[in-house]
Structure 1
């Protein structure tokens, strides 16, 4: 049987989870369609998901249709949980992007489509909610072509749009030949010469599989209109999994959760080969495997190429780990979190338990990026937004029994060098038996290279310097992570292993990797101080839809929060303003919007880029031993090593 690993993606509230329910019902997996509002959906299994009516964690469910096993991955739509979506993209064969026929193309829809096109994931578009009042399927189709991709092919038309009885009449649109001809010479020749056209359905399938076109389906997840046509399209147009079950084992971990006993469970997509119970991977033995099938997880002895499974026994597993042989994978990074906050336990007695709980949450979502300030005894987490903060708080209370509060959310900035700086410390001039010289200059990302001979000292010492450079650059001159920085090692030196006459090792006369690890932060910060850095803050692209008569009053408010308008489009009594706004000011503007627009304003934002901070640069409290203060640093590290 063929396998298709499929994700349903959408902006929040476009109807993604409802569509998942309808597909499961159509396949006979469930007897009754669950409702998001009632908390009865199959994939939103967390209590918090049911309470809030949103998807927080990616979930997998399987069903069979026309000889194909579809592993359907339901993903969050709220931008605060974009990390869950990111982890799924690399394991897909195809996707369905859901767009609301009422709200149309939204900010998150654009972000998702850009990622799908960049990674060349074959994608169908489903215009949902055609039965809702205000549905405008024809206008939304035009918006899909204008804002997502021009290569769209309508697979039907809607009758009685906006009414409960709305239905879909299947059939390719009149412009299908023109769209296909842009990507197929045979179709173009037949179209120009008036010759016989090839089988258009076959051409649509071929072009969809190579991401040249994106068929658009219409329907309603609530009433089921148009869903049978979409189901047929999944099998006909999207490519099944490839890979040989007899090849070398190759897979990817895209999700990690903990079972009832606290054990780690890895969600694995296998691209090649067969992974069996008792196989050793990642230094551990596989103890159990559960393959997704017919709406449930079936325990079995092996998972084969193309399948998705739960794997037990890999207690050190992390999201992104490669199982077996690495394979060519799609790499895409959504914007990193741009906010952070301090998590404070209501009871000081819970401090240790809180660290353990946050560590486990970071296993499931690495972008939480837990930071511990040992001096102030504070725990910091990175976030995408206020909703995610509420979810973390509720999860800690419900799953770990820990009540917490949060300090005020602050914006995460970056630093980058603006000039060139050098520093060197020679062996014998301080407490460390090492010579380290480093040059810092602007670069692309963070790179480390040698300006000395590789054989001038043991490789382990070079490795210690490189690893410490990357760790130290997590906090620059003003405490922010340093990016776009090229570091070159310009000097090196060590004392070879020394022994007394009786053969015992004398540490006081012999260099170790520890000497290089402790000295490197001092040298690197001295070089970075000479180079100088600038602080970069995140900027969001915003789109705000407001009544046209309030635009004049809204414009100066946008200016006061540092927003820069790039365009305004007026559609009768409604205007849409687009531009850039500092991420730190989004929440403040959001609070003012209802009062400025009589409650009718709709704001959408998404990360755009980083820009240099104007005026005084913000400073982030350090959580390391502060190598910028030599005396303080030496006191701390020498006391630690005594």
Structure 2
């Protein structure tokens, strides 16, 4: 039996979860279709998801069609949970992108499709809700061509569209207009196919078209488009046939070395970690020693050891059975206590470094309302960070507060509800603020030496020079001293301390695009230790950074706004009032689409205005675009480290006197 791992992606409310239910029902896995409104769907298992009617965490279900096992990952549609989508994309063989036949191509659809094209991910488009009033066919296909996929093949036509009697009819190669249209699209990417079509002999048959269509779909050269209704069940059989015949089967060999990717972590009933792993190759068995490989934000790969106690694979819906997992499977693995999202099992080869989507650009401070609950709150947030590392938990012991990163206000509401329901913690939030960064604007140099004539706090000599780095280079560390001038452990301690210290610059923000050069070293054997270098480096680095100076940059988002045409003037005026720079405006019938840039700090303000200025029909989508100098006085953030900017305070903290 072969496997294919697919994801269901969509703009929020396009019918993604309903489609998953219908696929399971049609495949014979469930005998009753769940409803998002009733809160009894297979994939929205968490009480909070059922109550809010949205998908918050990715969920895995499976069904079998003939000799093909389909593992299906249902992902969130709301942009506040885009990190869940990112983790799922890394383990998929193909994607079904759902579009509403009424609302058409929406902002989140465009964002997702851009990412899928960048990944060269095979995509099938499913146009849902053809039985809804206002559903479209021809003009929607044109919109999809211009905004999502210029090379597409409508695999079905719709009769009585926009009525309860609407139904999808499969198009056949025997139909002259479909054969001609299909040939034209396929020939765009294969001159040989066009030559065979034009030749007198041999005549192309239906199987030739099917084979070439499947090849080009698997190579992400074109997108088949299926129409239907998840609620009514029309068009679903054709979509299933497309999934099993057009999308690529899971690559990899079970007789090769083990390689698997952890893309989700949840907590079991006893609080233990349960890892969701996609097996790319090899076989994973319980009670077998395996290697775990982790890549940090600087690209360094660390090897750990693990021994899974239970390995389960998905079978008929959300049910799991205990068995070994083979190449192509998605497994639930228990017993790996220190496992994290993004870890790879078996080998470090192929670890993915860069993110597909931008990290959160907002943060907020959380405080427990109950006195003395700070440790419980911090522990609870660390457990939530296991499920979503992007929330980036930061603790400030002095202020008795914790901050987390966010994509938006909906995510904040979900975190608050989760803490209340799962951890019995009542919390309050400060106002949301944007996450800025710092960049050096000059050159600075500093050194701390071992002084045998006076009192020495650290048995280490460290000299550092800081200067502006290349754009988007992050933190670059290099040495102008001989590598053999220090033991390797001391060099490693200096570099690690540099990178951790730069998490908070002169104004408390992460310092990026900086070049740090190690200019001087020294040690006193046998008393010097790696800890001396780890402790003195922050003092040297921050002194050099003070000399260089830094500038604070704020995040700027690229936005896409859809509003009714009659409201476009008011929308543009409000955008400008919020500091946005509109760039292009396009009209699509009764709707206008505006794109441009807007400071992340004013996005929430504009979102609050949007319903009133668009009769509730406006749709705004934003994503991080760049950083620009922050206007006015540089915004600062409270420090959560040992404050190496203040030498006296730092020494007191390091030596436990404060």
Q: Deviations over 1:433-487 (max 9, x none)?
A: 1111122221312222222111101100110111111111111111111222222
Instruction: Compute the TM-score of the two structures, normalised by the length of structure 2.
Output: 0.92
- Counterpart of 2:299 in structure 1 is none
* Residue 193 (structure 1) shift: 6.3
With over 3 angstroms needed to count, the CA separation of the structure-2 counterparts of 1:194 and 1:485, relative to structure 1, is farther
Corresponding residue to 2:465 among 425, 435, 439: 439
* Residue 556 (structure 1) shift: 2.9
Provide the rounded CA distance (Å) in 2 between the counterparts of 1:42 and 1:349: 39
Corresponding residue to 1:512 among 513, 521, 529: 529
- Counterpart of 2:314 in structure 1 is 292
Provide the rounded CA distance (Å) in 2 between the counterparts of 1:628 and 1:360: 32
Corresponding residue to 1:364 among 387, 397, 405: 387
Instruction: Compute the TM-score of the two structures, normalised by the length of structure 1.
Output: 0.94
- Counterpart of 2:446 in structure 1 is 423
* Residue 4 (structure 1) shift: 0.8
* Number of residue pairs the alignment of both structures matches: 629
Provide the rounded CA distance (Å) in 2 between the counterparts of 1:564 and 1:252: 41
Residues 1:636 and 2:653 aligned together:
yes
Q: Deviations over 1:405-450 (max 9, x none)?
A: 1111111111222333222222227511111112222131222222
Q: Deviations over 1:105-126 (max 9, x none)?
A: 1121122112222222211111
Corresponding residue to 2:504 among 475, 486, 489: 475
Provide the rounded CA distance (Å) in 1 between the counterparts of 2:83 and 2:555: 17
Q: How does 1:127-206 map to 2 (within 5 A)?
A: 127-171=127-171, 173=178, 174-190=180-196, 196-197=203-204, 199-206=208-215
Provide the rounded CA distance (Å) in 2 between the counterparts of 1:132 and 1:110: 22
Residues 1:570 and 2:587 aligned together:
yes
- Counterpart of 1:78 in structure 2 is 78
- Counterpart of 1:596 in structure 2 is 613
Alpha-carbon contact 2:99-2:126 (below 8 Å) kept = yes
- Counterpart of 2:434 in structure 1 is 411
Matched position secondary structure for 1:328: coil
Q: How does 1:142-291 map to 2 (within 5 A)?
A: 142-171=142-171, 173=178, 174-190=180-196, 196-197=203-204, 199-281=208-290, 282=292, 283-291=305-313
Provide the rounded CA distance (Å) in 2 between the counterparts of 1:284 and 1:77: 34
Matched position secondary structure for 2:220: coil
Q: Deviations over 1:275-334 (max 9, x none)?
A: 111111342321111111112444334111111111111011111111112343565431
Q: Deviations over 1:596-618 (max 9, x none)?
A: 33444333333333222233221
- Counterpart of 2:96 in structure 1 is 96
Provide the rounded CA distance (Å) in 2 between the counterparts of 1:32 and 1:568: 46
* Residue 572 (structure 1) shift: 5.3
- Counterpart of 2:4 in structure 1 is 4
Corresponding residue to 1:328 among 310, 325, 350: 350
Provide the rounded CA distance (Å) in 1 between the counterparts of 2:281 and 2:619: 46
Q: How does 1:476-491 map to 2 (within 5 A)?
A: 476-491=505-520
Provide the rounded CA distance (Å) in 2 between the counterparts of 1:600 and 1:108: 15
Alpha-carbon contact 2:60-2:318 (below 8 Å) kept = no
Matched position secondary structure for 1:95: strand
Residues 1:559 and 2:559 aligned together:
no
Provide the rounded CA distance (Å) in 2 between the counterparts of 1:155 and 1:329: 37
With over 3 angstroms needed to count, the CA separation of the structure-2 counterparts of 1:599 and 1:11, relative to structure 1, is closer
With over 3 angstroms needed to count, the CA separation of the structure-2 counterparts of 1:637 and 1:270, relative to structure 1, is same
The answer to which of 81-90 and 42-51 deviates more is: 81-90
With over 3 angstroms needed to count, the CA separation of the structure-2 counterparts of 1:578 and 1:197, relative to structure 1, is same
* Residue 104 (structure 1) shift: 1.3
Matched position secondary structure for 1:175: helix
* Residue 192 (structure 1) shift: 6.2
Q: Deviations over 1:69-98 (max 9, x none)?
A: 111111111111111111111111111111
Alpha-carbon contact 2:374-2:401 (below 8 Å) kept = no
Matched position secondary structure for 1:542: strand
Q: Deviations over 1:526-563 (max 9, x none)?
A: 22222322222222222333343443333332212101
Matched position secondary structure for 2:184: helix
With over 3 angstroms needed to count, the CA separation of the structure-2 counterparts of 1:85 and 1:548, relative to structure 1, is closer
* Residue 489 (structure 1) shift: 1.1
Provide the rounded CA distance (Å) in 2 between the counterparts of 1:460 and 1:57: 41
Alpha-carbon contact 2:315-2:321 (below 8 Å) kept = no
Residues 1:309 and 2:353 aligned together:
no
Provide the rounded CA distance (Å) in 2 between the counterparts of 1:587 and 1:194: 63
Matched position secondary structure for 1:440: strand
Corresponding residue to 1:394 among 417, 436, 440: 417
With over 3 angstroms needed to count, the CA separation of the structure-2 counterparts of 1:618 and 1:32, relative to structure 1, is same
Provide the rounded CA distance (Å) in 2 between the counterparts of 1:433 and 1:637: 14
Provide the rounded CA distance (Å) in 1 between the counterparts of 2:392 and 2:621: 25
Alpha-carbon contact 1:90-1:329 (below 8 Å) kept = no
Provide the rounded CA distance (Å) in 2 between the counterparts of 1:525 and 1:18: 54
Alpha-carbon contact 1:119-1:332 (below 8 Å) kept = no
Provide the rounded CA distance (Å) in 2 between the counterparts of 1:519 and 1:112: 46
Provide the rounded CA distance (Å) in 1 between the counterparts of 2:53 and 2:89: 23
With over 3 angstroms needed to count, the CA separation of the structure-2 counterparts of 1:640 and 1:576, relative to structure 1, is same
Q: Which ranges in structure 1 are unaligned for 5 or more consecutive residues?
A: 498-509
Provide the rounded CA distance (Å) in 2 between the counterparts of 1:597 and 1:377: 42
Q: Which ranges in structure 2 are unaligned for 5 or more consecutive residues?
A: 173-177, 293-304
Provide the rounded CA distance (Å) in 2 between the counterparts of 1:301 and 1:557: 58
Alpha-carbon contact 1:49-1:55 (below 8 Å) kept = yes
Matched position secondary structure for 1:408: coil
